[in-house]
């Protein structure tokens, strides 16, 4: 397939582009910063277009050779989940872009969602559950999905909503948990400050995330919400301990230094039913 990937230089995007190329697809990579794109190992193997989707995306659909699918990963302002700009700016801009793609004749959208769409729901989260977001980011993503579902009734297309949980790996935000831990260990710090770590979360390596995106793209029968997760809850404390063991570090873990986030329940994890039907998770 010819696949357009927005947010191609982001944490998820850079790995999705690489996996698409590995599986033999051609890629049109979209990002705002060409200098950052030129640092990507795949730059010379894609058609790169420098574009800010919030400014002018119309040239992307003027070509007679439209992509077979769009993997939409671009979303500004993360990891700030609480700011209203997700609703006031990102939501209308992203909806305008995706509507234009569909109206131009793109038949297949694979869009990144978030586990924050579920809100403060505890325990295993299934793909069929009702959403109840409590953050502007979760609300904006949830509203975008529902708007696209309404658009399908007017202009039929394949919609896959890849709901992401917690991810780790190369290129992750430097302020994410494991990135901070790695930095503390590499710098020889004696203490690592963290929360108490009793909360249960669902973590998946970024390589597995990228593989799931390509697997879903190649399986258009998997329509609607797709939980992209391990399905195996782990406490944050155990996750940190495993990382310390992997890096042969005896850094002192200062538990309870940070409070728990008030926008996340203490225990939740995804149930990846649709992906599990394609391969063991």
Q: What is residue 85's predicted lDDT score, i.e. its pLDDT?
A: 97
3 contacts 20 by C-beta, under 8 angstroms:
yes
Q: What is residue 280's predicted lDDT score, i.e. its pLDDT?
A: 54
pTM: 0.94
In the chain (281 residues long), the average pLDDT of successive 10-residue segments reads: 97 98 98 96 97 93 88 94 97 97 97 97 97 97 98 97 96 92 96 96 97 97 96 96 96 96 93 87 47
The helix-helix angle for 91-104 and 136-154 (nearest 10°) equals 20
Task: Give the 3-state DSSP-derived string for 180-235, with helices as H, strands as E and coil as C.
Answer: HHHHHHHCCCCEEECCCCCCEECEEEHHHHHHHHHHHHCCCCCCEEEEECCCCCEE
Q: How many helices (H) and strands (E) does the chain have?
A: 9, 15
Q: What is residue 278's predicted lDDT score, i.e. its pLDDT?
A: 83
CA 281 – CA 139 distance, rounded (Å): 28
16 contacts 213 by C-beta, under 8 angstroms:
yes
CA 102 – CA 238 distance, rounded (Å): 44
């Amino acid at each position: 397939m010819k696949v357009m990937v927005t947010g191609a230089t982001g944490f998820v995007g850079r790995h999705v582009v690489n996996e698409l190329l590995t599986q033999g697809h051609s890629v049109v990579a979209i990002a705002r910063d060409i200098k950052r794109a030129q640092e990507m190992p795949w730059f010379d193997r894609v058609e790169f277009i420098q574009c800010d989707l919030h400014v002018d995306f119309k040239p992307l659909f003027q070509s007679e050779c439209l992509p077979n699918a769009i993997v939409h990963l671009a979303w500004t302002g993360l990891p700030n989940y609480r700011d209203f700009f997700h609703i006031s700016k990102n939501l209308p801009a992203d909806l305008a872009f995706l509507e234009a793609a569909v109206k131009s004749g793109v038949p297949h959208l694979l869009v990144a969602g978030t586990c924050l769409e579920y809100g403060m729901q505890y325990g295993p989260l299934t793909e069929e559950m009702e959403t109840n977001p409590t953050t502007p980011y979760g609300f904006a993503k949830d509203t975008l999905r529902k708007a696209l579902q309404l658009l399908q009734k007017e202009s039929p297309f394949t919609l896959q909503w890849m709901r992401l949980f917690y991810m780790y790996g190369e290129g992750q935000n430097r302020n994410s948990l494991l990135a901070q831990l790695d930095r503390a260990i590499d710098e020889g710090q004696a203490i690592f400050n963290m929360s108490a770590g009793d909360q249960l979360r669902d973590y998946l390596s970024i390589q597995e995330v990228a593989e799931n995106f390509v697997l879903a793209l190649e399986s258009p029968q998997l329509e609607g919400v797709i939980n992209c997760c391990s399905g195996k809850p782990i406490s944050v404390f155990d996750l940190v301990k495993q990382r310390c063991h992997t890096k042969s570090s005896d850094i002192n873990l200062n538990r309870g230094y940070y409070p728990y986030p008030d926008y996340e329940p203490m225990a939740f994890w995804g149930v990846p039913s649709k992906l599990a039907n394609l391969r063991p998770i």
